Amino acid sequence: MSDNNDHNPLSRRKFLGNSSAALVAIAGMQVAAGAQETTPIRSRDHHLVNELEPQPKNAALDAQNPSSNFSPVTDAGGQPPFKYPFSFSHKRIEGGGWTRQVTVRDMPMSKKMAGVQMRLIKGGVRELHWHVGAEWAFMISGSARITAVDQKGRGFVEDINEGDLWIFPGGIPHSIQGLGPDGAMFLLVFDDGNFNEFETFLLTDWLHHTMPEVLAKNFDVPESTFAKVPPKELFIFERDLPRPLAEEKNAVAAGTGTVPNSFAFFTSKMAPTKVTKGGEVKIVDVTNFPASNIAAAIVTLKPGGLRELHWHPNEDEWQYYVKGSGRMTVFAAGGRARTMDFQAGDVGYIDRSVPHFVENTGTEDLVFLEVFPTPNYEDISLAEWLAHTPSRLVDQHLGTGEDFLNKIQKKEAVITPQ
């Protein structure tokens, strides 16, 4: 019986020969692929030909934003920018100081909160005014006299110093005046992303747009009383320093008393909520500042310190970087992740429940604010989540070994190292 394979073009001998050649070819491709895999495509100093940037560029901006210029390999893109520098904002300069703002119009993702930087010289006054949204404030430097009157006619006057806070609920009329020797620099945060500092309810503007005969009738005085009302808003202007604090406190309390819960909070005198080797945090919300409907954390990270991986389940987070430099990675659902660098004067924004971390990448302390449009501060840390989930289940996900998981602290670190 003849072997059919002898007459078949794909005889056994040819098949084996062809198979061997194919295997050699496949092996060659695997070696080539392996060689490609071992060829580096990234370098620490970005000198490789595929990393070079021969075109003209903004070298100063690149130097400030290395995590955007050459992102970490863990970044996946797809996450919109969550940073906006106050340096990009228009500065309105007046005789008594200046101001500028970052709102949803500048930073589209900042839907729920807006921020204002303001500088008042010694005697500089942010005129009597009010607005619909609540105003939360942090004194960056210097000191100021603040005043307010609530809906029951109860007065409030206080002096605020560096590191202290205040809150003015929406609709409450108030003022701010810089004190000596160098006035005040402060940050204002509003629970409305569309807030506009240049369109508030101003005392002078209102009276200027009210007929003199109506003003006279309202106060039962001659029309001439209002002859010197300014023809336009004062906004920020310079005047003499206020009278002694005790004297003004007594005066505003006449007849109705003072507000039941102070609008001021002396954070500079507060003991930290948490202290570790990596830094400290002070948490201020309705539990220790009853007048406030805005929660906040003041975070200080030492060089190399980390605000641990976490998220906030109850509200968006608006950040302000007071001093130092750092980086933040934000991870969003769908595998989107991005890292951005921050310096003093920058604003950051993270949507509710989106995980992130902040790391001090500089040589001095990094101080930043976390602000939330809610009375209560809440967060969930990655470490605390894993520490209180059955270790076998977590190990089945991560493959880290249960020994590692069992050694995780049962209470969140907040700042590492501990």
What 3-state class would DSSP assign to 277?
coil
The verdict on whether residue 209 carries a ligand-binding annotation is no
- Cα(85)–Cα(290) distance, rounded to whole angstroms? 32
What 3-state class would DSSP assign to 383?
helix
The verdict on whether residue 233 carries a ligand-binding annotation is no
By the 8 A CB rule, do 89 and 152 touch? no
Q: How many degrees, rounded to 5, is the angle at CA 281 between CA 108 and CA 162?
A: 80
The verdict on whether residue 7 carries a ligand-binding annotation is no
Q: Tokens at residue 36, please?
A: 């490609």
- Cα(318)–Cα(296) distance, rounded to whole angstroms? 9
370, 378, 402, 412: the active-site residue: 370
The verdict on whether residue 135 carries a ligand-binding annotation is yes
To the query of whether residue 53 is one of the catalytic residues in this protein, the response is no
Q: Tokens at residue 95, please?
A: 């005789």
What is the rounded end-to-end Cα distance, in angstroms, of the chain? 84
Place of tokens 């880290």: 400
Q: Which helix (H) or strand (E) holds 332?
A: strand 325-332
- Cα(10)–Cα(27) distance, rounded to whole angstroms? 23
The verdict on whether residue 397 carries a ligand-binding annotation is no
Q: Give me the half-sphere count of Cα atoms (radius 13 Å) on the Cβ side of residue 174.
A: 27
DSSP E strands, 135-261: 135-149, 155-161, 165-168, 174-178, 184-190, 201-202, 236-238
- Cα(292)–Cα(248) distance, rounded to whole angstroms? 23
The verdict on whether residue 90 carries a ligand-binding annotation is no
By the 8 A CB rule, do 347 and 320 touch? yes
Which residues are documented as binding site for Mn(2+)? Answer: 129, 131, 135, 174, 310, 312, 317, 356
Q: Binding site residues, as ranges?
A: 129, 131, 135, 174, 310, 312, 317, 356
Residues belonging to the active site: 370
